[in-house]
């Protein structure tokens, strides 16, 4: 049986009259990229703050690496990257990481190693103020993983980045995961989640409305249709083998035939419409 590194049961959080989370249940398996998906304001950042001990819940249970999120035992085993991760602009790339190496009590020899991982080794003497947005994002990543955490919490790591820079960040996440790092990823970018995540959970109005593997969810909510394109027509028919056989017998020049599956975004929109 696969080991769970995160276990959450009936998690709830309220801010005055606003319900941020209500009765959320989910688990994250060791070695997977788990996508926590939903629109802005759905409660994704609140969830990360609860899981990492930055906030206290109003109800429910949380276990991170078999410990409470407030346990000092897990602090050296997790890395947190949020959209407000500040850098020291007047210091060099190297000195930014040196500061955090001292905070974590780790040898400074790890700095060049982590800079190489995020492709910033040649920029180690540059001031942070001289870096491009993409380089700064990679430096934040380096700072997040400098102590080799086994579990990463990434809060919308590609938000507001241009496509090229966002792709660089996704590649870093994939490389870390390939080496065994478990990733809890929040995003409102469904295409990104579809590309990267082993499993996802949809969050809407403070509670989880669906979860599972992206491919399985797309199949589950498929309209079960087949698209047929010929030199004369482009049309759809129900997914029925007998009907398909009849159609193909009448076609002279077939250009394309494939099943029609919804995107992850379309699945989410379908589910949120059903809720409203």
**Burial (CB count <10 Å: 0-12, 13-18, 19+), residue 19:** middle
Rounded CA-CA distance 103/87 in Å is 15
Q: Cα angle vertex 159, ends 157, 161, to 5°?
A: 100
Q: Domain 1-77+152-158+181-213: give its CATH architecture.
A: 3-Layer(aba) Sandwich (3.40)
Residues 6+ away with beta carbon under 8 Å from 95: 88
Rounded CA-CA distance 57/46 in Å is 10
Nearest alpha carbon to residue 87 among 127, 55, 35? 127
Note down pLDDT in tens along the chain; length 276 residues.
Answer: 569 999 999 999 999 888 899 999 999 999 999 999 988 788 899 999 999 999 999 999 999 999 999 999 998 899 999 765 678 999 999 999 999 999 889 999 999 999 998 889 999 999 999 998 888 988 998 999 999 999 999 998 888 788 888 888 899 899 999 999 999 999 888 999 999 999 999 998 899 999 999 999 998 888 777 777 877 777 677 776 777 777 776 777 777 877 777 889 989 888 887 665
């Amino acid at each position: 049986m696969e080991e769970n590194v995160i276990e959450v049961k009936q998690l709830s959080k309220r801010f005055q009259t606003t319900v941020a989370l209500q009765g959320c249940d989910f688990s994250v398996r060791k070695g997977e990229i788990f996508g926590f998906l939903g629109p802005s304001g759905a409660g994704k950042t609140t969830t990360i703050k609860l899981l990492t001990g930055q906030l206290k819940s109003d109800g429910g249970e949380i276990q991170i690496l078999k410990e409470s999120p407030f346990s000092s035992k897990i602090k050296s085993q997790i890395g947190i990257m949020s959209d407000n991760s500040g850098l020291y602009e007047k210091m060099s790339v190297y000195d930014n990481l040196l500061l955090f190496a001292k905070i974590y009590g780790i040898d400074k020899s790890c700095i060049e190693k982590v800079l190489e991982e995020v492709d910033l080794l040649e920029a180690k003497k540059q001031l942070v103020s001289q870096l491009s947005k993409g380089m700064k994002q990679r430096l934040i990543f380096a700072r997040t993983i400098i102590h080799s955490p086994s579990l990463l919490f990434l809060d919308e790591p590609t938000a507001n980045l241009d496509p090229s820079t966002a792709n660089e960040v996704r590649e870093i996440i994939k490389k870390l995961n390939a080496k065994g790092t478990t990733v809890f990823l929040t995003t409102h970018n469904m295409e990104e989640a579809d590309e990267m995540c082993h499993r996802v959970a949809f969050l809407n109005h403070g509670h989880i409305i669906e979860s599972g593997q992206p491919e399985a969810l797309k199949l589950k909510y498929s309209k079960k249709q087949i698209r047929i394109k010929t030199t004369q027509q482009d049309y759809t028919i129900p997914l029925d083998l007998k009907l398909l056989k009849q159609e193909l017998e009448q076609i002279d020049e077939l250009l394309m035939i494939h099943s029609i599956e919804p995107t992850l975004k379309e699945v989410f929109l379908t589910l949120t419409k059903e809720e409203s």
